[in-house]
Amino acid sequence: MLKLIRTPQKYVQGKDALNEFGKYAKDYGNRFLFVSSKRGLNDCKEKIEKSFEGTDAFRKYEIFSGISSNGEIERMRKIVVDEKIDAVVGIGGGSAIDTAKATAFYENKPVLVVPTVVATDAPCTGLSVIYNDDHTFDRYIFYPDNPNMVIVDTTIIANAPVRFLVAGMGDALATYYEARSCKKVDAPSLENGGISESAMALCKLCNEILFEHGEIAKTSVEKHVLNESVEKIIEAATYLSGVGADNGGLAAAHSIYNGFTEIEGVSAMHGEIVAFGTIVQLLMESAPKDELMKVMDFCYKVGLPITLKDMNIKAENIMVGCEKACVEGETIHNVVGEITPERLKDFVLTADVLGTRYYEEHK
């Protein structure tokens, strides 16, 4: 298998970076559709509009429904055609960005990404997660290219609710361990290529930054302070995690998320469930105790789930999620050894017991 690595064409990050949006966007056309969440538009529109001063660029702002579904993608595609749009811009969190990416792909247009939170690694990846109208997981769409541009205004990220940053760290936490698992079994990356040493280096760096700067970054963003640790965590959760996942692959942690969306009452965010799934994956791999404890310590310190209760999941309801996580084609099968829903259930319950014990020992 030939090794392959892909990245966004352009990645821009820094304080008040959106003040320069128009300068960078002009390389992709003059008529723009902005697919945005309500909050994302409130956070970004003033800066974006100011960045276009003195130009004749056309801007169409459209609030999306809140979920990256087939119906919403079709609605945005119609706007692209009707308004003769040159480029699609996604503003907000993962679902807004995934909707923009899918819209641009089907209409053969460039896609520009403006994350306003870093709750997932969606901004830099060459895929979209598509959901059914009831918010359950439907499928992935894989694209031939990564986004044309990602521009991250860290002032906006630092002023978002801290839970989004923590969830982003949870998503990023899985990056190294899932890539390592894929490499062990010679599974392809999400780009359907072999996993390069460059990709593994990005994944490892992501992991190191999380452990070194995660707790400080969380404390800082709670006070809406932007500093070096926050900048590093934003880059890790956005660029290193996104490019790392694309070129390193997924394994059990993300399959567990996909499965757990089927469980009634679950209230956790994507990255929060992925973090718990990382603990489960380490148990599946019989990881050394010190490695497992390092991950659990990190989750505890930054506020990521280590028990089912943390995600509002009852133990008696997990089997439906385990069955969905283990269907043919899921990336959980990139972990060494055969896995069945019954075995996964045992690992999930073991993780829950360990997490409960951890809380008791750290009262």
Lowest mean pLDDT among 96-110, 135-149, 197-211: 135-149
Q: What pLDDT band is residue 135 in, cutting at 50, 70 and 90?
A: confident
Answer yes or no: is 190 a known binding residue: no
Rounded to whole angstroms, what are the CA distances from 183 to 180, 334, 339? 5, 9, 18
Computed over every residue of the chain, the mean pLDDT equals 96
Across 102-130, average pLDDT: 94
pLDDT for 120: 83
Identity of residue 147: P
pTM assigned to the model:
0.93
Our measurement of the distance from residue 207's CA atom to the centroid of its chain's CA atoms, rounded to an integer in Å, reads 15
Strands annotated E in 105-262: 111-115, 127-131, 137-142, 149-153
pLDDT for 121: 81
Our measurement of the distance from residue 259's CA atom to the centroid of its chain's CA atoms, rounded to an integer in Å, reads 16
- Helix (H) or strand (E) holding 59, with range, is strand 58-63
Lowest mean pLDDT among 131-140, 161-170, 340-349: 131-140
Answer yes or no: is 171 a known binding residue: yes
CB 248 within 8 A of CB 204: no
pLDDT for 358: 98
DSSP 134-165: TS-EEEEEE-SS--SEEEEEHHHHHTS-HHHH
Answer yes or no: is 306 a known binding residue: no
Architecture of domain 10-158: 3-Layer(aba) Sandwich (3.40)
Strands 87-92 and 149-153: unpaired
CB 259 within 8 A of CB 322: yes
pLDDT for 306: 99
Burial of 258 (0-12, 13-18, 19+ CB in 10 A): buried
Between residues 134 and 294, the one the model is more confident about? 294
DSSP, collapsed to helix, strand or coil, labels residue 64 as coil
% pLDDT > 70, the chain: 100
pLDDT for 132: 85
| pLDDT of 363 strictly over 90 | no
pLDDT tens digit string along 16-36?
999 999 999 999 999 999 999
pLDDT for 65: 87
Q: Please report, for the chain, the start and end positions of each structural domain, with discontinuous segments joined by +.
A: 10-158, 162-361
Answer yes or no: is 254 a known binding residue: yes
Answer yes or no: is 96 a known binding residue: yes
CB 332 within 8 A of CB 252: yes
Answer yes or no: is 2 a known binding residue: no
Token code pair at residue 96: 């807004």
| pLDDT of 66 strictly over 90 | no
| pLDDT of 272 strictly over 90 | yes
Identity of residue 239: Y
Answer yes or no: is 224 a known binding residue: no
Answer yes or no: is 98 a known binding residue: yes
DSSP, collapsed to helix, strand or coil, labels residue 209 as helix
CA atoms of 155 and 353, how far apart (whole Å): 39
Answer yes or no: is 156 a known binding residue: no
Architecture of domain 162-361: Up-down Bundle (1.20)
Strands annotated E in 20-107: 31-36, 58-63, 87-92
Across 66-78, average pLDDT: 93
| pLDDT of 136 strictly over 90 | no
pLDDT for 181: 98
Across 332-339, average pLDDT: 94
pLDDT for 134: 81
Answer yes or no: is 94 a known binding residue: yes
CA atoms of 233 and 216, how far apart (whole Å): 10
